[in-house]
């Protein structure tokens, strides 16, 4: 018999000695859903009930210039949202979505109009998402409790680390992150394993392209050790009115050669005027101007006639508002997120392949140890990876090759 409505005060890892861990657990267990209001009341009075339980989360924001209780609360909430988003790229999907449920962040599972008041009931909502906690629907909240214990531990450590050094103007970006998170319209995580685009994301850079990518499929054909063709399909959502195209900057990526490659419009876009001076992106124009919230699917291609040298990796730089977390249909086909597929030359197979996410260049090129989940099966030369977590703005993701005798 299912038992999702049990009181979560006794969940593993909630009431530990870490002040941030206890405060985050207290915030997640609130039944009224007004998490921002609780943080604001804590900023208004350290002697209030909220101030006693949440003080460690808001006290450091006192150094924020013009620190009204509201601004301080937005800063604290923004920090929590941002750290949850960062963890989404390194933890398992179940841990990510347990955090989203705990702090009532989108996406909401299909069949629900909002997150439930009780934490255990919210875990019950996650149990309806097929595949998130195994092939069969969980009959108790035990799998969610385990994921919550580990996820809360990691979130508390990350938040504590930031609280220890943020000061003054450092808090300003988090105010905006908190506000934007509150403005997000509810989105749903459907029970057929589709994950929506509503997961919290870091703020994009000021010059980012104003689109969010719900699905991006990069199909690569290798010739010897180089990319011969790269076809990219994108399903985007406009983040503002007036979006009429998308900029693509493709470089060869060969050893000792970063020259630009030609770009071809394949579907639902037209190549605009040629590049003026390198390095300048190629502009793909859409058939119509998009308004905020409009969706568009388009396909482009780049190619390279050179066959000398070698390619160390296939990379994707997120120069827009992010890519949704990976999700699959019932047949295992990717229906959301970033997927990179590589058809290696059968006459020149790599010794090893692995994926990277948000890593330094030396870290990207360092082969993971045997058994590491980042290692990919080379087999007959068809290599594929879908990134489970959200792909964040200003970050890089991709697949690395190690060639024989390199």
Instruction: Give the strands of the sheet with 396-402, arranged side by side.
Output: 313-317, 396-402, 352-357, 375-376
Strands of 39-192 (E only): list them.
108-109, 188-189
- pLDDT score for 230: 92
Inform me whether the pLDDT recorded for 233 exceeds 60. Answer: yes
Q: Where are the beta strands (DSSP E) in 185-225?
A: 188-189, 211-223
367 has pLDDT over 80: yes
Average pLDDT over residues 385-392: 88
Q: Which helix (H) or strand (E) segment is 231 a member of? A: strand 226-238
Q: What is the mean pLDDT of the chain?
A: 81
User: For residues 119 and 188, which has the higher predicted lDDT (pLDDT)?
Assistant: 119
Q: Answer yes or no: are the C-beta atoms of 314 and 275 closer than 8 Å.
A: no
What pLDDT, on the 0 to 100 scale, is given for residue 31? 83
Mean pLDDT value across residues 216-243: 91
Q: Residues 8-17: what's their mean pLDDT?
A: 42
pLDDT above 60 (res 278): no
One DSSP character per residue, 54-85 reads HHHHHGGGGGSTT--HHHHHHHHHHHHHHHHH
| Mean predicted confidence (pLDDT) in 347-364 | 88
**What pLDDT, on a 0 to 100 scale, did the predictor assign at position 111?**
62
- Does this model's pTM top 0.85? My answer is no
Q: Closest Cα to residue 61, out of 386, 46, 47?
A: 46
* Mean pLDDT of the 122-151 span: 79
Residue pLDDT, tens place only, 141-185: 788 888 899 999 999 999 999 998 898 989 988 988 888 777 654
Q: Which residues of 188-208 are buried (b: 16+ CB within 10 A; e: fewer)?
A: bbbeebbbbbbbbbbbbeeeb
Peptide bond into 107 cis (omega under 30): yes
Rounded to whole angstroms, the Cα distance separating 190 from 130 reads: 8
**Predicted local distance difference test score (pLDDT) of residue 110:** 64
Q: In this predicted structure, what is the pLDDT of residue 285?
A: 95
Among the listed residues 401, 243, 209, the one whose alpha carbon sits nearest the alpha carbon of residue 317: 209
Residue of 71, 400, 148 whose CA lies nearest to 253: 400
């Amino acid at each position: 018999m299912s038992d999702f409505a049990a009181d979560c005060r006794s969940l593993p890892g909630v009431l530990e000695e870490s002040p941030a861990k206890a405060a985050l657990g207290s915030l997640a267990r609130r039944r009224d859903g007004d998490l921002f209001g609780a943080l604001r009341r804590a900023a208004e009075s350290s002697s209030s009930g909220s101030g006693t339980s949440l003080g460690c989360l808001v006290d450091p924001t006192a150094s924020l210039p013009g620190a009204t209780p509201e601004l301080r609360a937005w800063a604290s909430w923004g920090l929590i949202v941002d750290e949850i988003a960062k963890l989404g790229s390194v933890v398992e999907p179940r841990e990510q979505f347990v955090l989203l449920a705990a702090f009532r962040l989108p996406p909401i599972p299909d069949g629900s109009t909002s997150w439930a008041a009780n934490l255990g009931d919210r875990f019950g909502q996650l149990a309806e998402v097929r595949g998130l906690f195994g092939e069969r629907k969980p009959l108790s909240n035990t799998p969610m409790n385990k994921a919550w214990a580990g996820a809360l531990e990691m979130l508390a450590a990350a938040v504590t680390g930031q609280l220890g050094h943020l000061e003054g103007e450092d808090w300003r970006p988090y105010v905006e992150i908190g506000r934007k998170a509150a403005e997000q319209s509810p989105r749903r995580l459907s029970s057929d394993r589709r994950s929506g685009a509503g997961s919290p994301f870091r703020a994009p850079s000021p010059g980012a392209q104003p689109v969010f990518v719900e699905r991006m499929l990069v199909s690569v054909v290798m010739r010897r050790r180089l990319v011969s063709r790269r076809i990219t399909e994108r399903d985007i959502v406009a983040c503002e009115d007036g979006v009429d195209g998308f900029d693509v900057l493709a470089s060869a990526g060969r050893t000792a050669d970063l020259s630009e490659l030609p770009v071809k419009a394949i579907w639902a876009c037209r190549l605009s005027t040629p590049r003026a001076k390198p390095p300048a992106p190629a502009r793909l124009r859409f058939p119509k101007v998009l308004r905020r919230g409009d969706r568009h699917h388009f396909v482009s291609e780049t190619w390279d006639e050179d066959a000398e040298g070698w390619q160390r990796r296939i990379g994707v730089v997120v120069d827009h508002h992010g890519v949704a977390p990976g999700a699959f249909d019932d047949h295992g086909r990717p229906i959301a997120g970033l997927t990179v597929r590589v058809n290696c030359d059968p006459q020149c197979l790599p010794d090893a392949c692995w994926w990277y996410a948000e890593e330094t260049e030396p870290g990207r090129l360092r082969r993971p140890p045997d058994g590491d989940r980042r290692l990919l099966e080379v087999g007959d030369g068809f290599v594929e990876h879908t990134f489970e977590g959200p792909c964040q703005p200003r970050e890089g993701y991709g697949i690395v090759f190690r060639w024989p005798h390199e």
